[in-house]
Amino acid sequence: MDFSNRQNRFVRLDEVSAEYLEHIESLTQNDPYYPSYHIAPKHGLVNDPNGLSYFNGEHHIFYQWFPLGPVHGLKHWYHVSTKDFVHFKDRGVALYPDQDYDQHGCHTGVAVVEGEQLNLLYTGHLVYEPNSGHPTQVLAVMDKDGNIEKKGVVVDYNSKHYTHNMRDPVTIKRGDDYYMLIGAENHQQQGKLALYHGKQIDAYQYKGNVDIGIGEFGYMWECPNYYEDADKAVFIFSPQGVSSDSKYDFKNVFSVVYIVGKPIDTENRKFDHQGYFELDKGFDFYAPQTYLDNKGRRILIGWLGNSKSEYPTDKNYWAHMLTLPREIHIEGNKLRQIPLAELTALRESSEALRPQHNLTSRAFELELEVEQDFIIEFANQGGDKMTFSGNETEWCLDRTHVTETHAEQFGTVRYALRQSNDTLVRIFVDHSCIEIFCDLGETVFTSRIFVSDLNQLHLSKAVGQIHYLSGVHYE
């Protein structure tokens, strides 16, 4: 299908033939860049994780899905669940854009666990066009057997305060009160966080904007995420339209920001804190969400991709994947991200790394001890490579010399200032993605890496282990 014709982005899943879907699924599954242990679409495009939750004995992961190709079209929620992050249940489409209020897409939203039911709050688009629209916030409820029922609109759009860019609700419960925060753009093209209050999960009143205290900061705030942990609160959001002259900051088309502060004062609509930070320093990371699991862990998953770029896999009718799950911890006013402990169960075999190491698979993890001025190259025989290096003050991820570049207009090198003297670096590679954890998880680089026939590692001033990882299993 040709998606340069915008109308084709609104073609419905049941309007295409089974042969078309089989064809694009086989192109997708045979793509050498398709991952084996990251969540990726069977075909089409995945973007934001949605409805992350621990419910009825399992972790539930929903995500934004356009089934028909590698573009942002009519969005569905797709659903997988897992007990251990190795074995997954493929639960298929959870939300179809099949009601008048969401006929132009079931966009991003969250889950709120309440007893025997999982409440899904998301943005439904009655109309979603580049310069107009009618977004509403919608409630759907999933029971323990996985049956989902849409309950309808809980916040209708009112154009008085915001443009049609108003979406991605997050609802939190404090005692008997529900607070819904929604990402928005006001009529002066400033990013805002709208606050609603309700005594029930399905009825809210508008309260106004929350004063985040960072002045003008982009034109639209997508995917707000918010949680409280004792006397602290974490606000994560994906602002559009923020840039910086510093080589360290805000280099992607859109970036993700977090702020650790005090719980939002909902009466005065104020959020007190000590400042904001970028959550990730790589090329491809956006729209993360967090949730609390049964062990009390706060788990984060993001979209391993970015908007407004063509990716080398587009030709095979799929795009993007989700990041690995990461446990997050608050340290002062910073966050640390640690790959979830369950991921060690993916290890199949391990070897000590040699300075020139031939790879037997493209799904692996590295546990490294690095000296100052280290260099690690992820390469093929022809000399194409992605490089991760460091010196006394900074980390550097360079994809200038990969086989297939994308989004070069945003530069091909990313830098981050070192935040500690820690010398341990953990790296996950899965065919065409890389996740790098350093500074004890305070600095993370998440990126796609398109080195064809990736089969060599070159290490200078770095030693450690390689663990080859199995794929995850779906039933």
List residues with catalytic annotation. 48
**What gap in Å lies between CA 306 and CA 286, rounded to an integer?**
6
Residue 223 is a binding residue for ligand FRU (CB under 6 A): yes
* Rounded Cα gap, residues 105 and 229, in angstroms: 33
* Residues 6+ away with beta carbon under 8 Å from 15: none
Min dist. Cβ of residue 450 to ligand FRU (A): 21
Nearer to ligand FRU, 69 or 441 (CB): 69
Binding mask 122-151 for ligand FRU (x = CB under 6 A): -x----------------------------
Q: Which is nearer to ligand FRU, 140 or 457 (CB)?
A: 140
Question: Which of 58, 185, 222, 327 lies at the binding interface for ligand FRU (CB under 6 A)?
Answer: 222
Strands (E), 332-390: 334-339, 347-352, 356-358, 363-379, 385-390
Site string for ligand FRU, 67-106 (x = CB under 6 A): --------x-------------------------------
Answer for the pair 390, 376: CB distance below 8 angstroms, yes or no.
no
- Of 192 and 336, CB closest to ligand FRU: 192
Closer CB to ligand FRU, 96 or 468, in the complex: 96
The minimum distance between CB 445 and ligand FRU, in angstroms, equals 20
Least distance CB 41 / ligand FRU (angstroms): 13
Are 24 and 43 in contact by the 8 Å Cβ rule? The answer is yes
- Residue 21, exposed/middle/buried by CB under 10 A (0-12, 13-18, 19+)? middle
- Asked if 108 touches ligand FRU (CB under 6 A), the answer is yes
Residues 25-64 that bind ligand FRU (CB under 6 A): 47-48, 64
Q: Are 288 and 302 in contact (CB under 8 A)?
A: yes
State the nearest-atom distance from the C-beta of 77 to ligand FRU, in Å: 10
Judged by CB under 6 A, which of 76, 79, 167, 406 binds ligand FRU?
167
> How far apart are the C-alpha atoms of 77 and 73, rounded to whole Å?
13
Residues 357-386 that bind ligand FRU (CB under 6 A): none
Q: What is the CA radius of gyration of the chain?
A: 22
b/e per residue 276-298 (b: at least 16 CB within 10 A): bebbbbbbbbbbbbbbebeeebb
Q: How far is the CB of 64 from ligand FRU (least distance, A)?
A: 4
Q: Which H or E run contains 20?
A: helix 18-29
On whether the CB atoms of residues 274 and 260 are closer than 8 A, the answer is yes
* CA atoms of 317 and 465, how far apart (whole Å): 35
Name every residue whose Cβ is closer than 8 Å to that of residue 329 and which is 6 or more positions away in sequence. Answer: 298, 335, 336, 338, 441
Dihedral sign for Cα 446, 448, 450, 456, please: positive
Residue closer to ligand FRU by CB (options 54, 285) is: 285
Q: Amino acid identity of 467? A: H
Query: Is the Cβ–Cβ distance between 25 and 42 less than 8 Å?
Result: yes
Considering beta carbons, is residue 167 or 297 the nearer one to ligand FRU? 167
Closest CA to 122 of 143, 158, 96: 96
How many other β-carbons are positioned within 10 Å of the β-carbon of residue 375? 17
With CB under 6 A, what is the number of residues at the site for ligand FRU?
A: 13
- Please say which residue, 65 or 378, places its beta carbon nearer to ligand FRU: 65
* 170 binds ligand FRU, rule: CB under 6 A: no
Q: Following CA atoms 419, 422, 424, 429 in sequence, which dihedral angle do they give, to the nearest 10 degrees?
A: 0
Within positions 266 to 295, which residues make up the interface with ligand FRU, using CB under 6 A?
Answer: 286-287
Q: Rule CB under 6 A: choose which of 107, 326, 336, 414 binds ligand FRU.
A: 107
Least CB distance to ligand FRU at residue 190 (A): 16
Q: Is 326 in the site for ligand FRU (CB under 6 A)?
A: no
Least spacing, CB of residue 277 vs ligand FRU, in Å:
20
Q: How far is the CB of 310 from ligand FRU (least distance, A)?
A: 16
Q: Which tokens sit at 275?
A: 């400042």
Smaller CB distance to ligand FRU: residue 112 or 223? 223
Residues that bind ligand FRU (CB under 6 A): 47-48, 64, 75, 107-108, 123, 167-168, 222-223, 286-287
